[in-house]
Structure 1
């Protein structure tokens, strides 16, 4: 399945346009803070997901960039969603919304079972799960145009 969306963006090499942003997945394992810093280095931010369509897009983009091996490896990618400042109050790292309107949590999540303040996408479903920010995952950056 190809990944494309309606877009008027012109993106840099290796970045994929969708709606009003450009996206790029990075395939090296880092903590959430390291991922955030790497995105900033690219003049971007950890991906913020505002709709079911955007959630589908980033998940499909990730699957296509890993050759659909995402479920086999069990490793997924960081998003910008977190409740680092206040437990249970989730916000996007780019401060794009003061309230997280769209949600796509995996069943029984978030659960903060091991001091889990950062959110990644589940490799088999594309649903959200909270994870300890010190864990290692891949990451996806978003650059708004």
Structure 2
């Protein structure tokens, strides 16, 4: 006899679930490229907020409550225009259906070659990718494939 079970959708240990994503706080400051590599090593990306509620969770609930804010801590997010100036990659864009953005007024402005995005005072700003900042990794909730649990049926031993 066999039964099929769908395992629960879960996040890895030390990750936090919100909606359909899992988040992990990198509590050491690093440049955007290192944050990107660190996230990729966990099969994740640098978090990219797709709504105001998701951004509030990432920035206020995870980042501000878990990282010392006394030194003006800032948080990387996954968007960048490294390949082509003004063409932001991996982020919701203005004009897209359901596109979310939260730029500081006058941003992005490419000041001094700023190609990476961070959250600063609750809004997005482009900045230089080699600055050290904190990051939060994001990955979709893992949904294991349904598993079949087989019940082993054995034949009784013959008595000789």
The alignment's TM-score, normalised by the length of structure 2, stands at: 0.75
Question: Aligned-pair distance for 1:10?
Answer: 1.5
Using the alignment, how far apart are the partners of 2:72 and 2:92 within structure 1? 30
| Structure 2: tracts of 5 or more residues without a match | 1-7, 142-160
CA contact (8 A) 1:119 1:128 kept: yes
Give the number of the structure with larger relative contact order, counting CA–CA contacts within 8 Å between residues 6 or more apart: 2
| Structure 1: tracts of 5 or more residues without a match | 1-7
Kindly name which structure, 1 or 2, has the bigger radius of gyration based on alpha carbons.
2
Matches within 5 A, 1:1-145: 9-60=9-60, 61-66=62-67, 69-70=68-69, 72-92=70-90, 101-122=99-120, 125-145=121-141
SS at match of 1:22: strand
Using the alignment, how far apart are the partners of 1:9 and 1:80 within structure 2? 24
Using the alignment, how far apart are the partners of 1:85 and 1:12 within structure 2? 32
Give CA-to-partner distance per residue, 1:27-63, whole Å, 9 cap, x none. Answer: 1121111110000111111111111111111011101
Moved over 4 A (4+): 96-100
Q: What is the RMSD computed on CA atoms of the aligned residues? A: 1.9
Q: How many residues align?
A: 130
Using the alignment, how far apart are the partners of 1:48 and 1:98 within structure 2? 12
